[in-house]
């Protein structure tokens, strides 16, 4: 192979090129410094944000954080050096990396004397709201761009990233392929939720022009139908994709824009292959928490807001993870679930009816009060489920499941799909759906159809459940909901 340098010298004898410029690397984050500590007593420059300043007579302490970990780097300065420092400022400190005398951290940064070793990069206004005190999550939501700088919410976003990574891991291990089904779709017939319609802004402003896509276009409410097509090609496929529902409901577990993990698996014919698989999937994430591998659990627990009940929160989460990991998860049929709810003698706000399915309060009671952990509910009545689910031999129920968990309720819904084209055709007709709009989808049934099944997991809900966060708005950076589109 020709050396690039050679080629360049040959072709460019005169041009003043510096082709291979000095190439810097990125500065290590505080998390990286803790994980792979630099040599003891060595000098280094660290950048981050001032979390708090404590000045005594002869010495000052600054908690420095750069968002990479919930453990602050303790910096030791002279009181003069700390004089102008304020919470929220971005700073650059030069000091020695030394062993800490305190019990709370292994290392600290001993700033080298002299004003040149303490630089303020970015100031904060007098009114900087994130002072070292407890803010309610509700108040923090009014600061959409600043709230992620709190140790607590930053740890939640890192936890979201950790969860994403572990799921990626799991699907790789299981021989799945990650795919990207379309976000824009021309099909409005699945009925999983209210649709958003889209059109080019400039076409909207000039009504004479035909639609951008040549027809009406919508944002997907679920990628499942397209994923089924891809599963007929690649066998085992998954995606983690934004989905959109124009619902007016204002609850702590609904968003108009949310991320859904969906998977579709060829040659699966039992709903319990799917429940087993999803149990393994979540256990794969939880395993790292139980073992605190790479410190993901520590980072989250450490980031818990310094309230009175922090010990309780830590105990609750640790217990939750252990319980998830160590038990085999319960599984009941819909009928059995109804029986349990009726036998409980508890008065629910929404009465129990076979044909109504389970309301959120029923789901939460089942998982939270009765099973005190996750529970699969399978085989719902056909009438309350979508057209594509496989009919059971009883001709009444379909081979489907929901996974219910304490506090959050439903986090996964899945089913075996009806792969018999004739039966599916009949179902589409009986429900009065437009067959021609589903022609593309039905091609999977007409060309080498095979048993298959899959599921959808509400990613924000899983993150809430595993991190103990109550409102989905606090696990997604910029929540979108009815009348809610800040920043």
Taking the least distance from each CB to a copy of itself, the nearer of 47 and 78 is 47
Residues 454 and 263: beta-carbon distance below 8 Å: yes
Structure-derived torsion over alpha carbons of residues 464, 467, 470, 473, reported in degrees to the nearest 10: -60
Residues 271 and 400: beta-carbon distance below 8 Å: yes
How far is residue 313's CA from residue 425's CA, in Å, rounded to a whole number?
Answer: 51
How far is residue 474's CA from residue 272's CA, in Å, rounded to a whole number?
Answer: 33
The full DSSP string for 267-318 is T---HHHHHHHHHHHHHHHHHHHHTTGGGHHHHHHHTS---TTHHHHHHHHH
Phi, psi of 410 (to 5 degrees): -70, 130
How far is residue 354's CA from residue 352's CA, in Å, rounded to a whole number?
Answer: 7
Check binding of 31 to a copy of itself (CB under 8 A).
yes
Check binding of 267 to a copy of itself (CB under 8 A).
yes
Number of amino acids touching a copy of itself (CB under 8 A) = 150
Residues 237 and 263: beta-carbon distance below 8 Å: yes
Pick out residues in 377-406 that bind a copy of itself (CB under 8 A): none
Pick out residues in 237-256 that bind a copy of itself (CB under 8 A): 241-242, 244, 246, 256
User: Least CB distance from residue 282 to a copy of itself, whole Å?
Assistant: 14
Check binding of 451 to a copy of itself (CB under 8 A).
yes
Taking the least distance from each CB to a copy of itself, the nearer of 19 and 134 is 19
Check binding of 265 to a copy of itself (CB under 8 A).
yes
Pick out residues in 41-70 that bind a copy of itself (CB under 8 A): 47, 49, 66-68
How far is residue 416's CA from residue 399's CA, in Å, rounded to a whole number?
Answer: 6
Which of 57, 103, 328, 353 touches a copy of itself by CB under 8 A?
328
User: Least CB distance from residue 223 to a copy of itself, whole Å?
Assistant: 10
The piece of 225-233, 347-355, 359-367, 391-399 that touches a copy of itself (CB under 8 A) is: 225-233
Check binding of 23 to a copy of itself (CB under 8 A).
yes
Check binding of 71 to a copy of itself (CB under 8 A).
no
The piece of 189-197, 310-318, 360-368, 382-390 that touches a copy of itself (CB under 8 A) is: 189-197
Residue 17, class by beta-carbon neighbours within 10 Å (0-12 exposed, 13-18 middle, 19+ buried)?
exposed
Check binding of 213 to a copy of itself (CB under 8 A).
yes
Check binding of 298 to a copy of itself (CB under 8 A).
no
Tokens, residue 368: 């939270």
Check binding of 38 to a copy of itself (CB under 8 A).
no
Which of 43, 44, 55, 88 touches a copy of itself by CB under 8 A?
88
Alpha carbon distances (Å) from 183 to 257, 413, 439:
12, 20, 19
User: Least CB distance from residue 57 to a copy of itself, whole Å?
Assistant: 28
Tokens, residue 67: 């968002």
Taking the least distance from each CB to a copy of itself, the nearer of 113 and 426 is 426
Pick out residues in 128-147 that bind a copy of itself (CB under 8 A): 128, 144-146
How far is residue 318's CA from residue 184's CA, in Å, rounded to a whole number?
Answer: 40
Check binding of 275 to a copy of itself (CB under 8 A).
yes
Residues 469 and 458: beta-carbon distance below 8 Å: no
Determine the Cα angle at 195 with ends 193 and 198, to 5°: 160
Check binding of 316 to a copy of itself (CB under 8 A).
no
Check binding of 3 to a copy of itself (CB under 8 A).
yes
Which of 115, 131, 142, 200 touches a copy of itself by CB under 8 A?
200
Which of 64, 85, 219, 472 touches a copy of itself by CB under 8 A?
219
What residues are paired with 53 via a beta bridge? 62
H/E element, 324: helix 310-326
The piece of 54-62, 100-108, 151-159, 302-310 that touches a copy of itself (CB under 8 A) is: 151-159
User: Least CB distance from residue 232 to a copy of itself, whole Å?
Assistant: 7
Distance of CA 300 to the CA centre of its chain: 14
Which of 302, 327, 360, 471 touches a copy of itself by CB under 8 A?
327
H/E element, 227: helix 224-234
Q: The tokens 């500590």 sit on which residue?
A: 37
Which of 52, 100, 323, 471 touches a copy of itself by CB under 8 A?
323
Taking the least distance from each CB to a copy of itself, the nearer of 112 and 124 is 124
Which of 44, 52, 174, 189 touches a copy of itself by CB under 8 A?
174
H/E element, 425: helix 421-430
User: Least CB distance from residue 386 to a copy of itself, whole Å?
Assistant: 19
């Amino acid at each position: 192979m020709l050396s690039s340098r050679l080629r360049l010298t040959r072709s460019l004898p005169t041009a003043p090129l510096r082709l291979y410029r000095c190439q810097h690397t990125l500065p290590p984050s505080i998390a990286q410094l803790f994980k792979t500590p630099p040599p003891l007593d060595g000098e280094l420059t660290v950048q981050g944000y001032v979390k708090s300043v404590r000045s005594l007579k002869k010495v000052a302490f600054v908690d420095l954080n750069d968002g990479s970990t919930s453990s602050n780097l303790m910096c030791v300065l002279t009181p003069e050096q700390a004089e102008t420092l304020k919470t929220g400022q971005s700073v650059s400190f030069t000091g020695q990396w030394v062993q800490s005398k305190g019990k709370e951290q292994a290392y600290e940064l001993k700033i080298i004397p002299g004003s040149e070793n303490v630089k303020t990069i970015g100031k904060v206004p007098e009114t900087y709201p994130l002072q070292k005190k407890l803010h309610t999550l509700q108040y923090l939501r009014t600061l959409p761009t600043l709230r992620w700088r709190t140790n607590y919410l930053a740890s939640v976003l890192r936890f979201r990233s950790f969860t994403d990574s572990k799921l990626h891991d799991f699907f790789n291990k299981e021989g799945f392929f990650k795919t990207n089904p379309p976000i824009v779709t021309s099909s409005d017939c699945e009925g999983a939720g209210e649709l958003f319609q889209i059109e080019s802004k400039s076409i909207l402003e000039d009504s004479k022009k035909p639609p951008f896509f040549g027809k009406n276009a919508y944002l997907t409410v679920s990628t499942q139908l397209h994923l089924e097509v891809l599963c007929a090609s690649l066998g085992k496929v998954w995606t983690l994709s934004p989905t959109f529902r124009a619902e007016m409901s204002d609850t702590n577990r609904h968003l108009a824009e949310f991320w859904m993990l969906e998977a579709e698996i060829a040659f699966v014919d039992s709903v319990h292959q799917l429940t087993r698989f999803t149990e393994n999937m979540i256990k794969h994430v939880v395993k790292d928490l139980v073992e605190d591998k790479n410190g993901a659990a520590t980072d989250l627990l450490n980031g818990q807001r310094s309230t009175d009940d922090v010990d309780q929160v830590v105990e609750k989460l640790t217990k939750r993870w252990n319980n998830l990991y160590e038990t085999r998860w319960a599984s009941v049929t819909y009928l059995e679930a109804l029986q349990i709810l009726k036998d409980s003698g508890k008065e629910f706000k929404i009465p129990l009816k076979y044909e109504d399915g389970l309301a959120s309060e029923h789901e939460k009671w089942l998982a939270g009060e009765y099973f005190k952990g996750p529970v699969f509910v399978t085989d719902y009545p056909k009438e309350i489920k979508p057209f594509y689910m496989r009919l059971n031999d009883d001709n009444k129920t379909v081979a489907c499941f929901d996974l219910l968990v304490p506090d959050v309720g439903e986090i996964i819904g899945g089913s075996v799909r009806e792969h018999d084209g004739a039966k599916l055709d009949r179902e589409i007709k009986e429900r009065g759906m437009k067959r021609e709009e589903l022609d593309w989808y039905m091609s999977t049934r007409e060309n080498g159809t095979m048993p298959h099944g899959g599921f959808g997991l509400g990613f924000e809900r899983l993150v809430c459940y595993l991190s103990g966060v109550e409102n989905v708005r606090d696990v997604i950076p910029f929540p979108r909901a009815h009348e809610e589109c800040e920043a």
